[in-house]
């Protein structure tokens, strides 16, 4: 009876977000199947296409060929739900408020995690962070109450862990305003990281547009054992594919090896798919999913296990489905990997790490170890780490370096506390931080190494990202990403040359100690417990229209938004403000750390714009030059040119905007008067974010043209009006006239990927302006 109830067409509305209405999705998929002449589909395609608003419209020109869809068609999708973290939720909700709706069209959740500092331990850090960020948390809470969005307050946990524990379910399609949203793919969902403006599409019921991704299959064979862990699958894959290898793809795992993974392990793998630029990653339905759904006991989601079981065939790739590319990994041969520094794709197997560290002149010692975060704080991760700590404890060893543990959620924290794991951590010198992002996002108030230290130091973390200055604000801290097992073993050695699989540690009594491989439990034997009640929101909040959302005009943390100006209808004429050299991630474009506090105040946060960028023409960081040669900080020159009415363009190299879904990296340049970003290539989320904010993102048709451009050159579009008249043609080529300072002129070709809808964003000045116009019509 239960199965029939929850997998039928009449799923009660309040359960829709929790148990996908499989029958409806399958019905839509059958329409898609007819359009593609019954060709076998990958799982990614099945979930995505079953969420199309209108398959016949979206797939009209595919002529029955999947290759005419993948990488070609723009899909208009109806996501099932939206999750927002506190830093990005501020701007998402400020934008949502401008649309004048009284409630959201799909269920949403807000998670207070990024603004919590990590320093002394959970209690103290949380109290201080709540006091420091009260205005922002109050704003988010009042938005939650007014619009009926679930509010997960500070201390409740990290967005992705909470989503995995509460909302993710096989076949779900969701958006999250954070680049690691794909974490939910570990439970068989399609979960995509987006900017706030995309979240507003879903929250307002406006079809959300995505260029149909290609599908990259990762075939897993063999099985994990010993020291190898799910983290090593993705750190190894990042080494194979690089930070750009997943761009334009959904990564879909398949093969017998999948069966040896836990659900939370699959989430770790999907989480770090963001590090290879993938749109998202997902896994076919497994018994591990059923076990996790049942153990996490989410009323009424435990019924989802029954429903998913029944729809087993829907939740896996069709027999014979073809991938655009396939990578194979034999789990039985997989070694632990250590990735870094400064880029997540610099992957070194542990057996070679010591030699590589010496060769590269990396520090010879490790200065701190950090485990947990949204990437690696499952029960399995924590119990494996504790198994190593207990071995060391029995041998009389104490950690040599500071050790921090960040639980991903109150549920995990309370469960590992009940089972004695927290006690073991603390007795052995670990500092257990709040259930929040803390050191993973620059909110590490580190006391042993100063932010301005010019000496390199190395840290080992089980986090997912390692750009410069990301953790402690120090550009010379080298973050090496690895499994919690490797981090935990390393805190007892502190030597970069230490390989716990083969090496021993000398004990004071003259004996030597060698770790045995870690062992852990996939799920707690006694089940999960929820923990402190105060961390849990109302299960099904209803909008309360009488709630006031206050934003003080005096605030330096929050600022209501003024709409951006619509396109004038003329060609764009812009001066080159800066040519950026090399890697330019969203951390370079819109730094986090101390700047996070201004996420809700566009003017104030814009003073961080591109302050991490290297000027190609001078080699300086955060320096740009005015037409008369005067030197400015980059945001200061942007502001000056804005005040002078001089639109500008920034020119850059490959994978511009790599990293997070941070939409301030698009909002701030737009706010400061930018019109065009012209690069060799873009990271997907950032390119979309630029389009959403009414900017024109262009790539060089010939990369060599990057070298022909100089600061202060005048770049004028030649056929923009033509392109707009043709609704963008779903991408194409634009001519650009370059006028050098000495008056010489030449033309270059630039490519764009604007869809018909994105052209409307550009014309209206932003996607939000466009949605507002539609709602008013």
Q: Is 93 or 158 the residue whose CB approaches ligand SF4 more closely?
A: 158
Residue 526 designated active-site: no
471 is a contact residue toward ligand SF4 (CB under 6 A): no
Residue 67 designated active-site: no
Q: Is 86 or 306 the residue whose CB approaches ligand SF4 more closely?
A: 86
3-state secondary structure of 362: coil
Whose tokens are 């073993």? That residue is 489
Q: Which class for 355: exposed (0-12), middle (13-18), buried (19 or more C-beta within 10 A)?
A: exposed
Catalytic residue among 7, 86, 88, 113: 113
What is the rounded CA–CA span in Å between residue 662 and residue 660?
5
646 is a contact residue toward ligand SF4 (CB under 6 A): no
Catalytic residue among 660, 668, 681, 766: 660
377 is a contact residue toward ligand SF4 (CB under 6 A): no
Could you give the count of Cα atoms lying within 13 Å of 20 in the half-sphere of its Cβ? 31
374 is a contact residue toward ligand SF4 (CB under 6 A): yes
Contacts of 494 (CB under 8 A, 6+ apart): 365, 366, 400, 401
Task: Tell me how far, at minimum, the Cβ of 199 lies from ligand SF4, in Å.
Answer: 15
Task: Tell me how far, at minimum, the Cβ of 419 lies from ligand SF4, in Å.
Answer: 23
Binding string to ligand SF4 for residues 81 to 120, with x set by CB under 6 A, is what?
A: --------------------------------xx------
Task: Tell me how far, at minimum, the Cβ of 267 lies from ligand SF4, in Å.
Answer: 11
SS (H, E, C) 156-207: CECHHHHHHHHCCCCCCEEEECCCCHHHHHHHCCEEEECCHHHHHHHHHCCC
Q: Residues 36, 143, 440, 584: which binds ligand SF4 (CB under 6 A)? A: 440
Q: Answer positive or negative: Cα dihedral of 27, 32, 35, 36.
A: negative
184 is a contact residue toward ligand SF4 (CB under 6 A): no
Per CB under 6 A, the segment of 153-161, 319-327, 560-568, 741-749 that binds ligand SF4 is 153-161
Residue 249's DSSP bridge partners are 214
Q: Is 159 or 220 the residue whose CB approaches ligand SF4 more closely?
A: 159
293 is a contact residue toward ligand SF4 (CB under 6 A): no
Angle between helices 664-671 and 684-692 (to 10 degrees): 40
Residue 114 designated active-site: yes
Q: Is 467 or 700 the residue whose CB approaches ligand SF4 more closely?
A: 467
Q: Is 437 or 768 the residue whose CB approaches ligand SF4 more closely?
A: 437
Task: Tell me how far, at minimum, the Cβ of 492 lies from ligand SF4, in Å.
Answer: 25
Catalytic residue among 298, 384, 446, 465: 465
Size of the site for ligand SF4 (CB under 6 A): 13
Eight-state DSSP code of residue 539? S
Under 8 Å between Cβ of 308 and 290: yes
Catalytic residue among 18, 114, 289, 601: 114
158 is a contact residue toward ligand SF4 (CB under 6 A): yes
Under 8 Å between Cβ of 192 and 181: yes
Q: Is 339 or 373 the residue whose CB approaches ligand SF4 more closely?
A: 373
Per CB under 6 A, the segment of 293-301, 433-441, 629-637, 720-728 that binds ligand SF4 is 433-441
User: Helices (DSSP H) in 279-349: which residue ranges?
Assistant: 287-296, 302-310
Residue 18 designated active-site: no
Q: Residues 441, 685, 696, 750: which binds ligand SF4 (CB under 6 A)? A: 441
Residue 113 designated active-site: yes
SS (H, E, C) 438-472: HHHHCCECCCCCCCCCCCCEEEEECCCCCCCCCCC
Q: Is 284 or 407 the residue whose CB approaches ligand SF4 more closely?
A: 407
3-state secondary structure of 744: coil
Residue 481 structure tokens: 């990403």
Residue 516 structure tokens: 């045995």
Residue 457's DSSP bridge partners are 477
Task: Tell me how far, at minimum, the Cβ of 160 lies from ligand SF4, in Å.
Answer: 6
Catalytic residue among 178, 198, 232, 757: 178
Residue 662 designated active-site: yes
What is the rounded CA–CA span in Å between residue 220 and residue 242?
19
User: Helices (DSSP H) in 99-174: which residue ranges?
Assistant: 122-132, 134-147, 159-166
695 is a contact residue toward ligand SF4 (CB under 6 A): no
Kindly provide the residue ranges of all beta strands, DSSP E only, lying in 564-661, ordered along the sequence.
573-581, 614-615, 624-625, 631-632, 648-652
Q: Residues 84, 94, 149, 159: which binds ligand SF4 (CB under 6 A)? A: 159
160 is a contact residue toward ligand SF4 (CB under 6 A): yes
Task: Tell me how far, at minimum, the Cβ of 515 lies from ligand SF4, in Å.
Answer: 27
Contacts of 547 (CB under 8 A, 6+ apart): 142, 145, 146
579 is a contact residue toward ligand SF4 (CB under 6 A): no
178 is a contact residue toward ligand SF4 (CB under 6 A): yes
Task: Tell me how far, at minimum, the Cβ of 612 lies from ligand SF4, in Å.
Answer: 17
Task: Tell me how far, at minimum, the Cβ of 153 lies from ligand SF4, in Å.
Answer: 16
Q: Is 161 or 348 the residue whose CB approaches ligand SF4 more closely?
A: 161
Eight-state DSSP code of residue 656? B
Kindly give the pairing relationship between strand 150-152 and strand 108-111.
parallel
713 is a contact residue toward ligand SF4 (CB under 6 A): no
Residues known to be catalytic: 113-114, 178, 465, 660, 662
Residues making contact with ligand SF4 (CB under 6 A): 113-114, 158-160, 178, 180, 373-374, 437, 440-441, 464
């Amino acid at each position: 009876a239960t199965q029939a109830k929850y997998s039928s067409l009449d799923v009660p509305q309040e359960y829709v977000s929790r148990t996908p209405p499989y029958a409806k999705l399958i019905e839509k998929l059958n329409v898609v199947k007819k359009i593609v002449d019954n060709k076998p589909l990958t799982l990614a395609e099945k979930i995505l296409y079953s969420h199309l608003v209108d398959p016949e419209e979206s797939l009209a020109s595919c002529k029955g060929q999947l290759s005419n869809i993948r990488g070609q068609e723009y899909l208009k999708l109806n996501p099932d739900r939206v999750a927002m973290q506190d830093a990005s939720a501020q701007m998402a909700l400020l934008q949502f408020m401008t649309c004048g709706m009284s409630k959201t069209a799909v269920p949403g959740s807000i998670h207070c995690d990024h603004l919590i500092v990590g320093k002394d331990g959970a209690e103290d850090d949380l109290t201080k962070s709540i006091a420091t960020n009260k205005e922002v948390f109050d704003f988010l809470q009042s938005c939650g109450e007014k619009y009926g969005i679930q509010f997960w307050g500070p201390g409740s946990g990290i967005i992705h862990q909470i989503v995995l524990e509460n909302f993710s379910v096989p076949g779900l399609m969701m958006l999250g305003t954070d680049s690691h949203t794909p974490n939910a793919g570990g439970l068989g969902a399609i979960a995509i990281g987006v900017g706030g403006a995309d979240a507003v599409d879903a929250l307002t019921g406006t079809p959300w547009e995505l260029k149909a991704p290609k599908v990259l299959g990762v075939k897993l064979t063999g099985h994990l054992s010993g020291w190898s862990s799910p983290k090593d699958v993705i750190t190894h894959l990042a080494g194979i594919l690089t930070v750009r290898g997943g761009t334009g793809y959904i990564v879909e795992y398949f093969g017998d090896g999948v069966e040896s993974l836990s659900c939370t392990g699959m989430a770790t793998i999907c989480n770090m798919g963001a590090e290879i630029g993938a749109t998202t990653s997902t896994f076919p339905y497994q018994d591990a999913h059923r076990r996790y759904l049942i153990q996490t006991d989410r009323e009424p989601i435990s019924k989802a296990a029954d429903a998913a079981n029944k729809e087993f065939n829907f939740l896996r790739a069709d027999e014979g489905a073809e991938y655009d590319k396939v990578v194979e990994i034999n789990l039985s041969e997989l070694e632990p990997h250590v990735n870094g520094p400064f880029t997540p794709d610099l992957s070194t197997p542990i057996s070679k790490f010591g030699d590589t560290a010496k060769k590269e002149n990396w520090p010879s010692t490790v200065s701190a170890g950090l485990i947990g975060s949204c990437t690696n704080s499952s029960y399995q991760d924590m119990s494996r780490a504790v198994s190593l700590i207990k071995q060391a404890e029995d041998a009389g060893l104490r950690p040599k370096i500071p050790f921090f543990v960040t639980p991903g959620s109150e549920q995990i924290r309370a469960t590992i506390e009940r089972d004695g794991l927290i006690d073991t951590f603390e007795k052995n010198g670990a500092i257990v931080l709040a259930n929040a992002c803390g050191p993973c996002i620059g909110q590490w108030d580190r006391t042993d190494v100063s932010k301005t230290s010019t000496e390199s130091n190395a840290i080992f973390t089980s986090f997912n990202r390692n750009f410069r200055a990301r953790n402690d604000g120090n550009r010379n801290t080298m973050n090496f990403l690895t499994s919690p097992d490797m981090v935990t073993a390393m805190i007892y050695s502190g030597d970069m040359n230490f390989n716990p699989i083969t090496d021993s540690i000398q004990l004071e009594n003259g004996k030597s100690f060698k770790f045995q491989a870690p062992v852990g439990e996939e799920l707690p034997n006694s089940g999960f417990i929820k923990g402190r009640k105060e961390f849990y929101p109302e299960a099904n909040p209803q909008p309360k229209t009488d709630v006031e959302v206050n934003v003080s005009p005096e605030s330096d943390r929050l600022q209501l938004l003024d709409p951006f100006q619509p396109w004038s209808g003329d060609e764009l004429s812009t001066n080159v403000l800066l040519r950026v050299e090399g890697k330019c991630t969203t951390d370079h474009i819109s730094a986090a750390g101390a700047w996070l506090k201004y996420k809700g105040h566009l003017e104030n946060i814009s003073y961080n714009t591109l302050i991490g960028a290297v000027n190609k023409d001078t080699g300086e960081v955060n320096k740009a030059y005015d037409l008369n040669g005067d030197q400015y900080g980059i945001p200061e020159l942007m502001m000056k040119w804005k005040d002078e009415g001089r639109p500008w363009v920034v020119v850059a190299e490959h994978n511009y905007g790599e990293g997070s879904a941070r939409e301030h990296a698009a909002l701030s340049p737009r706010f400061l008067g930018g019109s065009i970003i012209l690069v060799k290539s873009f990271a997907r989320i950032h390119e979309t974010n630029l389009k959403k904010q009414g900017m024109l993102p262009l790539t060089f048709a010939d990369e060599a043209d990057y070298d022909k451009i100089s600061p202060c050159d005048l770049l004028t579009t030649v056929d923009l009006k033509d392109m707009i008249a043709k609704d963008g043609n779903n991408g194409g080529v634009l001519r650009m006239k370059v006028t050098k300072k000495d008056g010489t002129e030449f033309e270059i070709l630039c490519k764009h990927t604007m869809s018909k809808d994105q052209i409307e964003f550009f014309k209206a000045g932003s996607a939000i302006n466009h949605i507002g116009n539609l709602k008013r019509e």
